[in-house]
């Protein structure tokens, strides 16, 4: 593949990255919980148990540790879009890295006059 074609592909990938909005790491989990009240319906027998929820939790890694944040139900769709944007961004970056490797392979080496000359004084 020639370098001009690779440069055009790079410009297209840059445009796609520029079109992305907010990007966040992590995932959204839906959970149902029991409360601390012993007389509540969530502590009844297994067949009658009704859990509290759904609760929406945003999980992500911060400093090597998993962090959880509760999010409102009306914000879940926005968070999902932002997470998808991050996934798209990572895929585009991977394509740019692959394109860079292709470019480096197709790139012609420097002319002989720019190559390092061996010293004649040292007998090499």
Q: What is residue 73's predicted lDDT score, i.e. its pLDDT?
A: 95
CB 51 within 8 A of CB 32: yes
Please indicate, yes or no, if residue 35 is contained in any of the structural domains. yes
In 10 A of CB 103, how many CB atoms? 17
**Total domains, the chain:** 1
The per-residue pLDDT for range 60-74, each reduced to its tens digit, is 999 999 999 999 999
Please indicate, yes or no, if residue 29 is contained in any of the structural domains. yes
pLDDT tens, position by position, for the chain (124 residues)? 677 888 899 999 999 999 999 999 999 999 988 888 888 888 776 766 678 889 999 999 999 999 999 999 999 999 999 999 999 999 999 999 999 888 888 766 545 554 555 666 665 5
Q: What is residue 4's predicted lDDT score, i.e. its pLDDT?
A: 83
Please indicate, yes or no, if residue 123 is contained in any of the structural domains. no
Rounded CA gap, 62 and 1, in Å? 40
Please indicate, yes or no, if residue 120 is contained in any of the structural domains. no
Q: What is the pTM of this model?
A: 0.73
Rounded CA gap, 86 and 49, in Å? 38
- Separation in Å, CA 52 to CA 5, 18, 68: 57, 41, 18
Q: What is residue 62's predicted lDDT score, i.e. its pLDDT?
A: 94
Please indicate, yes or no, if residue 114 is contained in any of the structural domains. no
Q: What is residue 53's predicted lDDT score, i.e. its pLDDT?
A: 87
Q: What is residue 110's predicted lDDT score, i.e. its pLDDT?
A: 44
Please indicate, yes or no, if residue 117 is contained in any of the structural domains. no
Rounded CA gap, 83 and 116, in Å? 49
Please indicate, yes or no, if residue 124 is contained in any of the structural domains. no
Rounded CA gap, 54 and 81, in Å? 20
* 3-state SS assignment for residue 10: helix
Q: What is residue 118's predicted lDDT score, i.e. its pLDDT?
A: 60
Please indicate, yes or no, if residue 122 is contained in any of the structural domains. no
């Amino acid at each position: 593949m020639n370098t001009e074609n690779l440069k055009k592909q790079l410009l297209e990938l840059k445009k796609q990255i520029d079109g992305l909005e907010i990007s966040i790491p992590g995932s959204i989990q839906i959970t149902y919980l029991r409360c601390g009240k012993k007389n509540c319906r969530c502590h009844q027998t297994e067949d009658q148990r009704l859990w509290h929820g759904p609760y929406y939790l945003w999980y992500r890694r911060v400093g090597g540790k998993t962090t959880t944040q509760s999010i409102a139900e009306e914000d879940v769709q926005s968070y999902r879009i932002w997470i998808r944007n991050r996934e798209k961004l990572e895929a585009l970056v991977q394509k740019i890295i692959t394109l860079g490797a292709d470019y480096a392979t197709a790139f012609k080496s420097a002319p002989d006059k720019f190559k390092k000359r061996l010293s004649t004084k040292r007998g090499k």
